[in-house]
Structure 1
Amino acid sequence: MFDLGPATQEMRRLVGGVADDDLDRPTPCDDWTVRELLAHIHQFSSVFTDNARKAPMRPPDGLVGDWRTAIPEQLEDLAAAWAEPGAWEGRVSAGGVEMPARDNAVVAVEELTVHAWDLARATDQRVHVQDATLDEVERFFTMFPPDPETGTGPFGPVTPIADDADRLHRVLALAGRDPGTNTTDERTGTR
């Protein structure tokens, strides 16, 4: 077991920093706007909460009108659901892939972390990532490693990155993101 609370709290903070005029801004996610990214965050938070509780999945509903309240509440519920020992038992499905529940939690924290960076980047915010969270996100990429022949990871081509890049930027590169030189994250203090 590990605590999803820090990753959900950070996402809640970032969602709270989204302005109405940010909704149509582009994000680092495959042609998604901030509005579409927020809808995805709400959807995957619901799915991973349902998985923790072994409940039937709810159908996706796009960006709900009360997203400023609904997404933070769903994220809080997600952390609470995975705080229960039973959440880590059995098998569940994510994205059509069946896996042990404990591995599903790793997928959840990877989604929270990478999309927190996406949201921060798109809305000119700073992202805070704890080392314990990065431990689990790195574990995700050992569970779903890039293909050594094609250099394609679970989200597309791995982005080349400098040898001296920090942990967060290495994870982002594995997720096909280009952290570049104009990103900011408070954990490393780099810009």
Structure 2
Amino acid sequence: MTVDGFKLLADAHDYLLAAARGVPAGAWGDTTPCSEWTVRQVLNHARLDQLALVMQITGVAPASDPFEPTDATADNPVAELTAVLEAAAAAWQSGRDAESVPTPMGPMPANMGTAAAALDAGIHAWDIARATGQDLPLTEEMAEALEDIASRTVDFVRDSFGKYAPPLAVEEGASRAERLLAFTGRDPHWSR
């Protein structure tokens, strides 16, 4: 399957925004499938990760470490996230025709870099939606589109930086989305 990383990124950004828009006011401190983080911390991490993935293109580092995220969403989380996603998408577009673009994982074709950013946005959208009881599943179509980039990057990030939990086993007959979530260390059936 040939994936258009730019379309995938736009879809994943839309998914992340939909999840953020659906967070009830009192749910920002709720637990998430990322056991160490609250909903607000996952959103801040996702926001900062999108900036970190393009920082070698833009020359601008995120305000804090995505894995120890500071909160810049207190007043209006959706507006802050929207601004970041627009800036990240514009940065990727600026490198669209380049043979390769610099990323924290090394140089890669822009189509692959955008897919990596989409993987991060899509998985964290699921985290937020699941933690807040929203009916916003990771679709089979998005999971299928993310499979290739996950197989190329997740183990590297897990082994090099320790940033993904170990993969979980799934039942025979598991959906693509369930397999992808489990590969990234998430329990596809997680509930609060």
Please say if residues 14 and 119 of structure 1, whose CA atoms lie closer than 8 Å, have aligned partners that are also in contact.
yes
Looking at secondary structure, tell me which structure has more strand per residue.
1
Cα distance change, pair 171–88 in 1 and its aligned pair in 2 (3 A):
farther
Give the CA deviation at 1:83.
Answer: 3.8
Is it true that 1:5 corresponds to 2:13 in the alignment?
no
Equivalent position to 1:141, from 141, 150, 153: 150
Superposition map of 1:42-191 within 5 A: 42-51=47-56, 53-60=57-64, 62-64=70-72, 65-66=74-75, 67-86=77-96, 89-94=99-104, 97-102=105-110, 103-129=112-138, 133-144=142-153, 155-180=164-189
Q: Secondary structure at the match of 1:165?
A: coil
Query: Secondary structure of the equivalent of 2:61?
Result: coil
User: What one-letter code is carried by the residue in structure 2 that aligns with 1:20?
Assistant: A
Aligned length: 175
1:34 matched to which residue of 2? 39
CA shift digits 1:87-141 (9 cap, x unpaired): 75434232xx323153332221111111111001111112254555324421123
SS in 1 for 2:62: coil
- On the 8 A contact 1:87/1:101 being kept in 2, the answer is no
Shift of 1:33: 0.7
Q: Deviations over 1:11-46 (max 9, x none)?
A: 111101112211111001131011211110221122
Q: Conserved in 2, the CA contact under 8 Å of 1:23 and 1:34? A: yes
Q: 3-state DSSP class of the match of 1:31?
A: coil
TM-score, L = length of structure 1: 0.77
Give the direction of change, closer, same or farther, for the CA distance of 1:177–1:129 in structure 2 (3 Å limit): closer
SS of corresponding position for 1:155: coil
CA contact (8 A) 1:15 1:72 kept: no
**TM score, norm. by length of structure 2:** 0.76
Q: Secondary structure at the match of 2:136?
A: coil
Is the contact made by 2:116 and 2:150 (CA closer than 8 Å) also made in structure 1?
no
Structure (1/2) with the larger helix percentage: 2
Unaligned runs of 5+ in 1: 148-152, 184-191
Which residue type is aligned with residue 79 of structure 2?
Answer: T
Mapped to 1, the partners of 2:145 and 2:11 lie a distance apart of: 12
